[in-house]
Amino acid sequence: MKKAILAFGLFASTLTFSQTYFQQEVNYKIDVTLNDKDNTLSAFEEFEYINNSGTALDKIYIHIWPNAYKNTETALAHQLIDMNNNSMQFAEPEDLGWIDSLDFKVDGLEAKWEYHPDHIDIAVLHLNSVLKPGEKMKVSTPFKVKIPSGDISRLGHVGESFQITQWYPKPAVFDKNGWNEMPYLTQGEFYSEYGSFDVSITVPKNYVVGSTGDCQTPEELEFMTTKAAETAKKIEDGSFSKAKKGFGGADEFPESATEMKTVRYTQSNVHDFAWFADKRFEILKGEVELPHSKRKVTTWAMFVPYHHTTWQFAGEYLHDGVYYYSKWNGDYPYNNVTAVDGTISAGGGMEYPNVTVIGNAQSKEQLEVVIVHEVGHNWFYGQLGSNEREHAWMDEGLNTLNEVRYIQTKYPKNTRLSDMMMGFADKVHLEHLSHHDMNDITYNMTAEFGIDQPIELHSADYTPTNYGAIVYAKTGLVFTYLKDYLGDEDFDKAMSAYYDEWEFKHPQPEDLKTALEKSSGKDLEWFFTDIIQTTKQIDYKISSVKADDKGFTVSVRNVGQIDCPVRVDAFRFGKLVESKWVERGSEGSVHFDGKTLDEFVIDAGKQMPDLNRNNNYWKDKGLFKRVEPMKVEFLFGDNEGDKNQMWMSPALGGNKYDRFMIGILIHNQTLPKNKFEYTVAPMFSIGRKNLAGFGDINYSWVPAKHIKMITLGLGAKTFGHGLGSAPDSLTSPRGTYYAFQPYATFKLGKPDVRKFYKQTLKLQGAYVLEDGNLYSNTTMGGYLNYNFKYKKRRNEFSTNARFDYFNYDSNAGLANLTGQALNAHLTLDYKFTYWPEQRKQLEVRAHIGQNLMTSGMQNARYGMSLGGQSGTQDVLYEHWMMGRNETSGIYGNQRIENQGGFKTTSSYGTSNGMIFGSNLVFHIPYVPFVLYGDFGMFDNAGTMETVYDAGAGIRFGESFGVYFPFLESDNLKNSYPAGTKYWSKIRLTLNMNGLRPGELIQGAL
């Protein structure tokens, strides 16, 4: 019965397969001539289009992608601007590119064509008569390409080094979903029809050409082989050491030969054709014997002489890359594989069939990774032609898996990630990080901060960070995990089955799933839905370990969001003894035989992307059975998961009252971050001869939906404050404050959509005791703050709504003054970047503050301030002030740039009723100065007063500024105490809250 159903099922699936799957075929013949003086290509193309679909076609979509570089309205230009890349926005006309002279003929007859209504880099060719299923036609056109600057994207030239990619008119894919026409993008790759190419390239005779296909021109093969022999000799006799970059050096281009040469290349079973030309290229020629068929493939490496120190090893990397990828996925089906040295803006390298271009590599290790990765795309892109634009992970992710596996196989003890830190790693305890760890840390960073996106997503919808962190890193990780689960042998068998079935075809995600399930016999639904399609996080823990007379039963529990298989590793004296898998189901247990086993770990090899490894350990000794004992390190380090890590460093500090402070900073902040974090910095205050310092503990987590991250925390600090002390006395005891601040932060919004805005809601409480020798104050209160930030292209907008509440009790010895206040603040802030290359902006800001409730003593401390909060007005102790209760001198000039936003040192404009402030800041071109002007009004005990000022200064956002007033309204001018010198009016803005490393990392992400 079971068998019959299975057989029927197989039959049915083969049947549907043969009925629905089809693939169009396009065979090209192109003649092209490079003009290296005006950076153009003149060409004639003819392609045969075979309609294998069941649909009669009356038009075809043709990509004419050089037009993506034509103006700032193309999809490419828009994407670059959104990514803060101004290479097109401010390009000189000669740096742009386009395609023209198109004149399409179908089977020799003139045919009508037009631009796609939205994209000038897509043409719509209307056929004179429909192309019926099974029919073929010949389409021809001349074309001319202006080659853009290589700084923009993938097609381009850097001087006389040419990268000729996406350069010819090319039909879009027509598949079961219809036409897949798409504009060219930098972030977002390709989807193309398979077929054959016959391309003749004419260039000045002294160019070296690296290209898709097999060279069919004997003179050129001889030229290349002779060059390769010369290069080999130069490496042998060391004459390369003179090749240096720079003035008069080897990076200068030799004159182009006046005589031209035509080189012909042919290739079948590819879906693109790219070529590269450079007169400076050196050549390494090699050979690799394929592991399965033993067929031989020729390897070519082409590089500029001044890169010889790294590139002389390129032959080995090409050889090993082709060998291992063939071994694991299926033999390389072509005759040549080429890597060329090039400078492109699109990442570290770029793949094309048979030929890859490699960007500047800093070291030979980096060069190896990039060459192997790009060569690997001959499988995941070249031979398995999935739709990369929509399912980028199918290429980049599977390729990353193979790339990591290559490094781990060839260098089992590799510390690739640490090596890349160039000597810094061992100083901060990061000396053991491998190539695999790089992906682990990258993914963890985005997931821990709640900014990650699913693996299955359209390329253009990823944030640039996630395009790397998710498409490459996370997909590589999850397939490493799947490989670990299926076992190397079954995984390789399944990948070979996938390869066999889909070679030179267009597999979809479900085809990969079917192939892997069919081969492995396992249900992989959990993998292809929860892991591939969502941002749900994996977290398993060891819930119990029970000993019996035979050994141990280890139970695991799912405390994350994905139900998936987990591997439990059993150790004795630190050596792995046995591994067992607990299949899906939120709870499960496995039994290990052996009374002397002493340690059990979930996924000890870190193959599974478990976001919280602290609960993966159980050890049969010590006080803390589930975790290793505390490990103390200097400064900072990575999250090892199996250890309770603590980092220490000396801490120094200073302010007016404490003078100088010395102490120790202790924290557990790591990369990736822990859910629970603490920081304490106890210090000794020289000024007060007393304890000072600060601390913070917080717990963050990422809920499944709608909120990116929630953090609950408690901050505390105690320093000198100067109230109630004899001013400027070194001998009298100084006042001390103690502040306790519980807080809850919510980062709002769905994590899985690319957005240009961020929303944060924060609730912070405060209990502050100011203990002076003459009096003491107690303030209880807090604030609720909602912040919305939008940033796209040259515009930045933010709005902030905040409610402050204070309840204060001031005991000044003679009188006991109490009161409370509730103030509301609304701030709008708009910044326009009028000159992005120099980051020059125009800033416009408005703020309105309104008292909603007040009772008891009216107190300027608790009022609202046009000039922003002074240290005294920072009654919730949110900010770091160098002299928080000073009214004069350099310390008195420090204020926070908030509330009314005036850039004055005067306290004039403080109100318990209402304030309104508006501010303009203009960043002057060429010099690091700004001009500012402020205009505002405030309720001065029942009378509305108007205030303004203007001046110039230096400014770095709202965090740092020095302002020199030129002009002040009379009321402001008269508000300074008699005899105030000009320098006392120089305003200093210093807000260190926005400058803490954690906030900077989060802001950058």
Beta carbon nearer to Zn ion, 45 or 320: 320
CB 528 within 8 A of CB 393: no
Using the rule CB under 5 A, give the single segment among 221-229, 391-399, 660-668, 849-857 that binds Zn ion.
391-399
CB 166 to Zn ion: min, Å: 16
| DSSP three-state, residue 981 | coil
Beta carbon nearer to Zn ion, 369 or 538: 369
Beta carbon nearer to Zn ion, 396 or 696: 396
CB 317 to Zn ion: min, Å: 15
CB 787 to Zn ion: min, Å: 37
Q: Report which DSSP code applies to 1002.
A: H
Beta carbon nearer to Zn ion, 23 or 399: 399
Q: Which helix (H) or strand (E) holds 231?
A: helix 218-237
CB 211 within 8 A of CB 276: yes
CB 359 to Zn ion: min, Å: 12
Q: Which residues of 395-410 are buried (b: 16+ CB within 10 A; e: fewer)?
A: bbbbbbbbbbbbbbee
Half-sphere exposure of 244 (CA within 13 A, CB side): 5
Beta carbon nearer to Zn ion, 396 or 897: 396
* Tokens encoding 306: 């001044």
Q: Going residue by residue from 828 to 867, which x/- string records binding to Zn ion, judged by CB under 5 A?
A: ----------------------------------------
CB 14 to Zn ion: min, Å: 33
Cα–Cα distance measured from residue 836 to residue 841, given in angstroms and rounded to the nearest whole number: 8
CB 189 to Zn ion: min, Å: 8
Beta carbon nearer to Zn ion, 396 or 829: 396
| DSSP three-state, residue 28 | strand
Using the rule CB under 5 A, give the single segment among 22-30, 390-398, 420-428, 691-699 that binds Zn ion.
390-398
How close are the terminal C-alpha atoms of the chain, in Å? 56
Peptide bond into 727 cis (omega under 30): no
CB 531 to Zn ion: min, Å: 20
CB 377 to Zn ion: min, Å: 6
Neighbouring residues of 407: CB distance < 8 A, sequence distance ≥ 6: 369, 372, 414, 416, 434, 435, 436
Beta carbon nearer to Zn ion, 95 or 396: 396
* Tokens encoding 232: 């080999």
Tell me what percent of the chain is helix, strand and coil, each rounded to the nearest 5: 25, 40, 35
CB 759 within 8 A of CB 710: no
CB 380 to Zn ion: min, Å: 8
Beta carbon nearer to Zn ion, 184 or 281: 184
Using the rule CB under 5 A, give the single segment among 43-51, 60-68, 395-403, 647-655 that binds Zn ion.
395-403
CB 416 to Zn ion: min, Å: 17
How many CB atoms sit inside 10 A of residue 986's CB?
17
> Residue 368: what are its φ and ψ, rounded to 5°?
-60, -45
Beta carbon nearer to Zn ion, 209 or 346: 346
CB 503 to Zn ion: min, Å: 19
Beta carbon nearer to Zn ion, 281 or 467: 467
CB 574 to Zn ion: min, Å: 37
Neighbouring residues of 548: CB distance < 8 A, sequence distance ≥ 6: none
Q: What is the total count of residues that contact Zn ion (CB under 5 A)?
A: 1
Beta carbon nearer to Zn ion, 403 or 874: 403
CB 626 within 8 A of CB 544: no
Closest CA to 338 of 380, 309, 377: 377
Residue 69, Ramachandran bin (φ over 0: left; ψ between -120 and 50: alpha; else beta): alpha
CB 1004 within 8 A of CB 998: no
Beta carbon nearer to Zn ion, 190 or 265: 190
Binders of Zn ion among 550-609, rule CB under 5 A? none
* Tokens encoding 713: 């925390």
> Residue 888: what are its φ and ψ, rounded to 5°?
-145, 175
Beta carbon nearer to Zn ion, 499 or 963: 499
CB 237 to Zn ion: min, Å: 36
Binders of Zn ion among 684-713, rule CB under 5 A? none
Closest CA to 234 of 214, 257, 250, 248: 250
CB 403 to Zn ion: min, Å: 8
Beta carbon nearer to Zn ion, 396 or 874: 396
Helix ranges, 663-784 (H): none
CB 391 to Zn ion: min, Å: 14
CB 351 to Zn ion: min, Å: 6
Q: Tell me the C-alpha to C-alpha distance, in Å, between residue 729 and each of 403, 725, 734, 735, 893.
A: 66, 8, 9, 12, 20
Binders of Zn ion among 396-425, rule CB under 5 A? 396
Q: Tell me the C-alpha to C-alpha distance, in Å, between residue 276 and each of 34, 51, 147, 958.
A: 11, 31, 12, 48
Q: Which residues of 71-89 are buried (b: 16+ CB within 10 A; e: fewer)?
A: eeebbbbebbbeeebbbbe
Beta carbon nearer to Zn ion, 381 or 743: 381
Using the rule CB under 5 A, give the single segment among 58-66, 249-257, 392-400, 752-760 that binds Zn ion.
392-400
Using the rule CB under 5 A, give the single segment among 257-265, 388-396, 612-620, 627-635 that binds Zn ion.
388-396
Beta carbon nearer to Zn ion, 396 or 770: 396
Sign of CA dihedral 532, 535, 536, 538: positive
Helix ranges, 42-193 (H): 75-82
Gyration radius from the chain CA atoms? 34
CB 349 to Zn ion: min, Å: 7
Query: Which residue's Cβ has the minimum distance to Zn ion?
Result: 396
Binders of Zn ion among 633-662, rule CB under 5 A? none
* Tokens encoding 774: 């003459």
What beta strand segments (E) does 369-443 contain? none
Tell me the longest C-alpha to C-alpha distance in the chain.
105
Beta carbon nearer to Zn ion, 36 or 374: 374
Using the rule CB under 5 A, give the single segment among 160-168, 187-195, 394-402, 552-560 that binds Zn ion.
394-402
Cα–Cα distance measured from residue 796 to residue 794, given in angstroms and rounded to the nearest whole number: 7
Cα–Cα distance measured from residue 876 to residue 784, given in angstroms and rounded to the nearest whole number: 12
CB 82 to Zn ion: min, Å: 22
Amino acid letter, residue 161: S
Beta carbon nearer to Zn ion, 198 or 396: 396
CB 755 within 8 A of CB 749: yes
The residues that touch Zn ion, with contacts defined as CB under 5 A, are: 396
